[in-house]
Amino acid sequence: MKDSLYSLLDEHYNEMVKIRRYLHQHPEVSFKEYETAAYIEKFYQKLTIPYRSNVGGNGIVATIKGAKPGKTVALRADFDALPIQDEKDVAYRSKTPGVMHACAHDGHTAMLLIIAKVLHSKQAELSGNVVLIHQHAEELAPGGAKSMISDGALDGVDVVYGNHLWTNTPFGEIHTASEHLMAAADRFTITLHGKGGHGAIPHQTKDPIVIGAQLITALQQIVSRRVNPLDTAVITVGRFEAGNTFNVIPHSATIEGTVRTFDSNLRDWIVEEMERVIKGTTFAGDMEYKFEYFNGYPPVINHPEYAERVIQAAQQVPDVKKAIFVQPTMTGEDFSYYLQERPGAFFFTGAAIENNFVPHHHPLFDFDERAMLIGAKTLINLTLQTLTSE
């Protein structure tokens, strides 16, 4: 059955690309993916595959019930885009100003739809059930996974798998980890309240820019000088905003950033340490502050047995050159919530375009579309192996 499904995926590859490119041209940001959801619904309607819409928001859950009894495997794909202007010079460039698929979610959706199509054609031979989870709002916390789970997306599911087309990984390679694969992804905002004034008379002010600059440097020292080097943590400031003209010291400044960790105790300690550093720095500068910390997605922690199955399944895909366990990445994913509820694993499918690397979340982001076929075959084989072994 595996080989026949591989052949069907090959036959539908052009349709997979067509779907991906259509979605790429018509992106929608998190929590506003109404037309994308409608597109997915129409696909299932045409195939007469039963589905539920508006699951936990804009999510969609379809189910293929095999003719033979067995366990239930869930496959998840996200479908939201990012508020980024698409600057690629390609025929499938985004038609929506300021919005683009810069993280391959269009590819994930195309893969899952074609996987559904080929599995549906073999429904009479299938043992067990396959649940297809099309998730909204992965890019923006609180994300769509948690609400979809609360709305029953995992009801009756025994094992769950997810895949991410990954341009940091060479084409033809499958990467995963036996446990920690991705980090907890938190966000913070620090607002400094000083006293503005003339840029030529700074002694009459309480300059939030100077204190903010000191604070940014001090925050970096939490990781470099306070965290055990054998532990893993990141504090990144991504926004520092203050003032609107060259010769005026503003009243306030805003600093925003992210914290990434794997260990929950370290995560809590960093928040306490940040508060201590902020308090001390602002006290020295004689100004007030407001510190807001928002817990994001927890770390993606694979279940070892099912991560091993990913490697075994990938090794049986003809175009896979290498399937290996790798060190975790500090990026985040709300697939973590599924793995808190059910056993399973998440993996990266290498999608780098040779000699044209562009990172995720970049205006020129694109990926090697052939990777969709490799990822789809890996998910298909993983599903069949899991259903059989269970």
Cα-Cα-Cα-Cα torsion 134, 35, 296, 352, nearest 10 degrees, comes to 70
Please tell me which residue in 28, 33, 78, 80 is annotated as part of the active site: 80
| Catalytic status, residue 241 | no
Q: Are residues 159 and 46 in the same domain?
A: yes
Q: Are residues 38 and 171 in the same domain?
A: yes
Whether the CB-CB separation of 377 and 9 falls below 8 Å is answered with: yes
Q: Are residues 217 and 258 in the same domain?
A: yes
Q: Are residues 42 and 169 in the same domain?
A: yes
Query: Which of the pair, 94 or 355, is modelled with greater confidence?
Result: 94
Whether the CB-CB separation of 114 and 15 falls below 8 Å is answered with: yes
Last residue of a domain, one of 247, 281, 296: 296
DSSP 15-75: HHHHHHHHHHHS--BTT--HHHHHHHHHHHHHHT--EEEEETTTEEEEEEE-SEEEEEEEE
| Catalytic status, residue 207 | no
Q: Are residues 17 and 147 in the same domain?
A: yes
Q: Are residues 172 and 259 in the same domain?
A: no
Note down the domain range covering 77: 2-182+299-389
The tally of domains found in the chain comes to 2
Q: Are residues 308 and 290 in the same domain?
A: no
Neighbours of 54 (CB within 10 A): 12
Distance in Å from the first CA to the final CA of the chain: 17
Q: Over the stretch 109-163, which tens digit does the pLDDT of each residue have? A: 999 999 999 999 999 999 999 999 999 999 999 999 999 999 999 999 999 999 9
CB within 8 Å of 120: residues ≥ 6 apart: 47, 49, 64
Q: Are residues 63 and 128 in the same domain?
A: yes
Please tell me which residue in 33, 78, 106, 138 is annotated as part of the active site: 138
- pTM for this predicted structure: 0.95
- For residue 44, pLDDT over 60 is answered with yes
Largest CA distance in the chain: 81
- 377: domain CATH number is 3.40.630.10
Q: Are residues 260 and 208 in the same domain?
A: yes
Query: What are the two backbone dihedrals, phi and then psi, of residue 129, each rounded to the nearest 5 degrees?
Result: -125, 155
Residue with tokens 């033979």: 68
Burial 318-354 (b: 16+ CB within 10 A, else e): eebeebebeebbbbbbbbbbbbeebbbbbbbbbbbee
- For residue 76, pLDDT over 70 is answered with yes
Q: Over the stretch 330-341, which tens digit does the pLDDT of each residue have? A: 999 999 999 999
Q: Are residues 66 and 177 in the same domain?
A: yes
Neighbours of 45 (CB within 10 A): 11
Angle at 108 between CA 148 and CA 260, to 5 degrees: 70
* Average pLDDT of the chain to the nearest whole number: 97
Host H or E run for residue 240: strand 233-242
| Annotated binding-site residue? 105 | yes
Last residue of a domain, one of 296, 314, 348: 296
- 284: domain CATH number is 3.30.70.360
Res. 389 pLDDT band, cuts 50 70 90: confident
| Annotated binding-site residue? 139 | yes
Q: Are residues 227 and 159 in the same domain?
A: no
| Annotated binding-site residue? 164 | yes
Which amino acid, residue 347?
A: F
Which tokens belong to 49? Answer: 């595959």
CB within 8 Å of 226: residues ≥ 6 apart: 273
Last residue of a domain, one of 296, 320, 337: 296
Q: Are residues 307 and 289 in the same domain?
A: no
| Annotated binding-site residue? 203 | no
The candidate with the shortest Cα–Cα distance to 35, out of 82, 99, 80, is: 80
